[in-house]
Structure 1
Amino acid sequence: MVRWTGGVPGSGARALAAVVAGALPALTFPEPSLWWLAYGALVPWMLLLRTAPTGRRAVVEGWLGGLGFMVAVHHWLIPSLHVFTVVLAALLALLWAPWGWLVRALLGDPAGGPRAALAALVAVPCGWLMIELVRSWQGLGGPWGLLGAGQWQVAPALRLASVGGVWLVSLAVVAVNTAVTAVIALPRARVPVCGALGVCALAATVVAVAAPRPEESGRVRVALVQPGVLDGHDGAERRFARAEELTRGLAGRDLDLVVWGESSVGADLGRRPDLARRLAALSRAVGAELLVNVDARRPGPGGGIHKSAVLVGPAGPTGDRYDKMRLVPFGEYVPARGLLGWATSVGRAAAEDRLRGTRPVVLTLADGLRVGPLVCFESAFPDMTRRLAAEGARLVVVQSATSTFQRSWAPEQHASLAALRAAESGRPVAHATLTGVSTAYGPDGRRRGPVLATSASGAAVYELPLARGTTAYLRYGDWAVYGAFGALVALGAAAGVRRLSRGR
């Protein structure tokens, strides 16, 4: 009988195939949003890995596929970092090298039986999740392009996210890809693999139905102000004036909060009392507090530049502020500047490091509503929204600016992350930007209200349901990550015991 092996002739052709196959999952994220592709996007790469002639070759092709993946999901950084984007991607892609070996070890034998296939069904997704966990560390770039994030508009996936976070969604997506690969490549294992996948799907359905859901409790009316792209000099002043004009048009809309995007105010309000007075006048005109974002140097000795969410009421700044804690590598600071400072000469890396905040802050509005602010990149981190919700935030607000990447896939992808954060936390999330995409999501992760695209300059009002109670992810946190690590340890220990018993 002839069996399909998926081999690609020649090491050069295999290398190119690995890079292209690794890049395929990027199409599942916005802007393309081919979410359905995620459930087969890894199959070509995995079929290639399992046919690698040696374990060393599988390691190389794992690294090359990781390189393709990282460049594809971060391609929008190339205009800013140029060749440094590829250098960073090549370093982070090393995380996929052992995963390539793992795929070959478990799926590489065409005569492999059910035991190897079922072990792969557990180990391969868990191995992928460990890669996502490591590269999610802020110093390595943060959790951008997690595979599960491509399912942000799929209701069952959002329900899974409420149980185990985006991590559980990634596990499910990779498990399906592993099962498809095993069905194609291991004829003897088709029935048990399909049976195991069916059991997992049934278990996931039961858990999703039985898991706690926050109960709707009240409504909040939030306006998001998006000045849009403004040409010419004095950008900060013109941006402020445009946001001021748009906000004034919101008078009489019965609002609870008006949100401006990241870096919407380009001067410290203590140094510019005229700006503080203009903001206070706007608050009085619309009958709601304003949450603006100040990107400026603070007064005082040694004062550096912070990005701060600042609450402004009818009498002026209330004194409540949140300083951004997790900064964008190279965009807002240069890691190990003494070693990597040369990056500023080949791209638009930060000439001066921004300063970090020290703790999350939950702001309390005049009507008692508690709001948890995040600034831009921070919405990619599941733990930050979870912590704000645990500390009492009933609404999460993200202030963002992606104008540097206006004509790329980045604005749409960034806005989609708010859907996952809403589903995980069971809290509505509003995502306000300077130049798009601005939108909002309910506590179930479903989009509520209009979308202000990158071509828009305007303001939109969102009536969002508030929710009380908890989700399983709020209650138990990153249990999917710990479970995946434990499963890998158990499988490794079992393999070690079998090897020892054979050697006796």
Structure 2
Amino acid sequence: MTLKSIFSLPEWQQAILSGVLLGIAFQPWHLGWLAWIGFIPLFHIWLHGNVKDNFIFGCLFGLTQNFIAVYWIGFNSGASVGVVLLSLVAAVIYLALFWGVVGLIIGFLPNKSQWGIVLLPFLIVTMEWVRSFGPLGFPWINLALTQSEYIFLTQIGEITGPYGISFWIIAINTLIYLGIIRENMLRETMIAVLVLLIGLSIAGWGRLHSISHPHRKIKVAIVQPNVDPNSKWDEKDRIIALMDSLHQAAVDLNPDIVLFPETAVPAYLRLNSRVRKMLQARVDQTGIPLLTGTVDRKIEDGKRYYYNSAIWLSPDSDYEMYAKVHLVPFAEYDLLPFLFHPLRWLNLNIERGSFRAGKEYKVFEWDGVRFSVLICYESSLPKIVRRFIGEGAEILMIEANDGWLGNTAGPYQHFELARLRAIENRVPVLRSANTGISGVIRPDGTVQKKVPLGKQAVFIEQISIGKPGSFYSRYGDVFAAFCFVTSCVLVILSWQKK
């Protein structure tokens, strides 16, 4: 079977084939290169289909790709089987609709074979950008995630953010597709693909080796307790004793800072003075501060609200707090509680639907070093990371609890997203995850230290601190906005030239 013979398959099979290839590219199986060819069957459908069929097959592709890519949503052990399966189905359908709309727009073009090929890279970047907006924004699934291991190819992220990576992925697909359908152009298009990949690699290699290695350094001890999140609040005394012993093990390494994961201790540390004073006593005794995740509770307007927070305990000082600014809909709060309130069935001792987002982009400071903390899902959101860098953070610390997802692709994808954020903002990223994956990522995206899933660990790493920030940090999604404008212009021109 030749590559061209794939186009003789029924259209629904071609759409599913593309979805399977792209879905696999998102798995932690080192097959990200499948994204370079995975769109080819789908593009063939779109460039020969009408508006209705393009929408249907775009949705079919999206259903397949997203079901494979984010299947782990259905493995959340923190809720009943029915709730998590409903969450998975809803998420996959929602995400699939975006691909349906892209296909619809291509089908709307009067001369798809000419204008569609040019439009596709710009339009798909536009779709990813629009998909990141609002409370249901989900940039986690951007195509850049499939390329995080190809460190030279992703350095462009410091200029374009994740969207430049998506752009060249789609460009490669369109070039190879042209070579397949126009056999007289195969040699030229493959040369163009090689030039693009080699050019990106050389530029990335050069940028990687041009990043300065600053002399300012700080040592951080990171704790991965490996605690089952489903039993943490049922075994408070045991978990508090465990975290106390891990805290001691961390300070024995003589770091400058100790980092705990999200909701590391089953206590409301701001309100529970007994447990907070226990931690504070060791901080005061050793002179080594602690940053740990915690749940906070406040009474506002006569109603009880909860905050997914981090608390900073420094020697002989009052505590400081950060509250997560972007909550996960249907996981930390109900988006439409008056219609649908599934969080009441979650396995936790608080009313999850009453979580409230924080408002302050907090920057902590210790020994002249300024740093911020991202809580779990926040590390998947480029705009939030940029905001912390803009506020002056020189290090980003991530507190996560991926234990709910078990040994699925979710925790692996979450770690790789941190690598993209490091590149985009040229900032060191430190990650403490309850059950893993914890580690340290340099500003160039290379991994300095990585602790696997399901292992209890306390480790120390020396972090080099330079001047963070990049073009992307300062100017944000200008490339994505450029792609949006270009998409609009190309669609208008296609009809004027009809």
What TM-score do the two structures reach when normalised by structure 2? 0.88
Counterpart mapping for 1:136-175 below 5 A: 136-175=132-171
What is the rounded CA distance, in whole Å, between the counterparts of 1:252 and 1:345 in structure 2? 41
The more displaced of 146-155 and 15-24 is: 15-24
Amino acid at match of 2:68: A
CA drift at 1:105 = 7.4
What is the rounded CA distance, in whole Å, between the counterparts of 2:296 and 2:237 in structure 1? 13
Distance change (3 Å), C-alpha of 1:72 and 1:277 = same
Distance change (3 Å), C-alpha of 1:346 and 1:67 = farther
What is the rounded CA distance, in whole Å, between the counterparts of 1:146 and 1:246 in structure 2? 36
What is the rounded CA distance, in whole Å, between the counterparts of 1:457 and 1:204 in structure 2? 38
Question: Is it true that 1:484 corresponds to 2:487 in the alignment?
Answer: no
Counterpart mapping for 1:44-443 below 5 A: 44-50=41-47, 52=49, 54-80=50-76, 81-101=84-104, 116=114, 119-187=115-183, 189-190=185-186, 193=189, 197=193, 204=200, 209=206, 215-217=212-214, 218-230=216-228, 234-284=234-284, 286-298=286-298, 301-315=302-316, 318-341=318-341, 351-365=352-366, 367-443=367-443
For the 8 Å contact 2:309–2:324, the answer to whether it is kept is yes
1:89-127 deviation per Cα after TM superposition (whole angstroms, max 9, x unaligned): 223311112322456678998xx6xxx2xx445411111
CA drift at 1:284 = 3.7
Distance change (3 Å), C-alpha of 1:150 and 1:235 = farther
From 4, 8, 16, the equivalent of 1:19 is: 16
CA drift at 1:347 = 10
Distance change (3 Å), C-alpha of 1:242 and 1:100 = same
1:224-245 deviation per Cα after TM superposition (whole angstroms, max 9, x unaligned): 1111034856244433322221
What is the rounded CA distance, in whole Å, between the counterparts of 2:271 and 2:425 in structure 1? 37
1:181-230 deviation per Cα after TM superposition (whole angstroms, max 9, x unaligned): 12112335546645765675687578755799663321221111111034
Question: Is it true that 1:28 corresponds to 2:29 in the alignment?
Answer: no
Partner-residue secondary structure (3-state), 1:397 = strand
Amino acid at match of 2:53: R
What is the rounded CA distance, in whole Å, between the counterparts of 1:23 and 1:359 in structure 2? 41
Partner-residue secondary structure (3-state), 1:144 = helix
What is the rounded CA distance, in whole Å, between the counterparts of 1:350 and 1:269 in structure 2? 18
The more displaced of 299-308 and 382-391 is: 299-308
What is the rounded CA distance, in whole Å, between the counterparts of 2:257 and 2:485 in structure 1? 44
What is the rounded CA distance, in whole Å, between the counterparts of 2:194 and 2:283 in structure 1? 55
For the 8 Å contact 1:8–1:48, the answer to whether it is kept is no
Distance change (3 Å), C-alpha of 1:351 and 1:155 = closer
For the 8 Å contact 1:107–1:182, the answer to whether it is kept is no
Amino acid at match of 2:441: Y
Partner-residue secondary structure (3-state), 1:454 = coil
What is the rounded CA distance, in whole Å, between the counterparts of 2:237 and 2:163 in structure 1? 42
Match of 1:448 in 2: 448
What is the rounded CA distance, in whole Å, between the counterparts of 1:456 and 1:210 in structure 2? 34
What is the rounded CA distance, in whole Å, between the counterparts of 1:257 and 1:302 in structure 2? 36
For the 8 Å contact 1:49–1:104, the answer to whether it is kept is yes
Partner-residue secondary structure (3-state), 1:314 = coil
For the 8 Å contact 2:394–2:468, the answer to whether it is kept is no
CA drift at 1:259 = 0.8
The more displaced of 211-220 and 86-95 is: 211-220
Partner-residue secondary structure (3-state), 2:448 = coil
CA drift at 1:252 = 4.1
For the 8 Å contact 1:30–1:416, the answer to whether it is kept is no
Amino acid at match of 1:302: K
Match of 1:38 in 2: 35
For the 8 Å contact 1:265–1:294, the answer to whether it is kept is yes
Equivalenced residues, count: 484
Partner-residue secondary structure (3-state), 1:215 = coil
For the 8 Å contact 1:214–1:468, the answer to whether it is kept is no
Distance change (3 Å), C-alpha of 1:363 and 1:3 = closer
CA drift at 1:496 = 2.3
CA drift at 1:56 = 2.1
CA drift at 1:137 = 2.5
Distance change (3 Å), C-alpha of 1:122 and 1:398 = farther
CA drift at 1:403 = 1.2
1:4-30 deviation per Cα after TM superposition (whole angstroms, max 9, x unaligned): 3634555xxx43542342132232234
Partner-residue secondary structure (3-state), 1:157 = coil
Superposition CA RMSD, Å: 3.1
Distance change (3 Å), C-alpha of 1:485 and 1:191 = farther
Match of 1:502 in 2: none
For the 8 Å contact 2:158–2:423, the answer to whether it is kept is yes
The more displaced of 90-99 and 408-417 is: 90-99
For the 8 Å contact 1:430–1:440, the answer to whether it is kept is yes
Partner-residue secondary structure (3-state), 1:6 = helix
Partner-residue secondary structure (3-state), 2:250 = coil
Amino acid at match of 1:76: W
CA drift at 1:418 = 0.9
What is the rounded CA distance, in whole Å, between the counterparts of 1:468 and 1:253 in structure 2? 27
Distance change (3 Å), C-alpha of 1:430 and 1:210 = closer
What is the rounded CA distance, in whole Å, between the counterparts of 1:285 and 1:30 in structure 2? 45
The more displaced of 330-339 and 285-294 is: 285-294
CA drift at 1:427 = 0.8
For the 8 Å contact 1:401–1:433, the answer to whether it is kept is yes
CA drift at 1:258 = 0.9
Distance change (3 Å), C-alpha of 1:142 and 1:429 = same
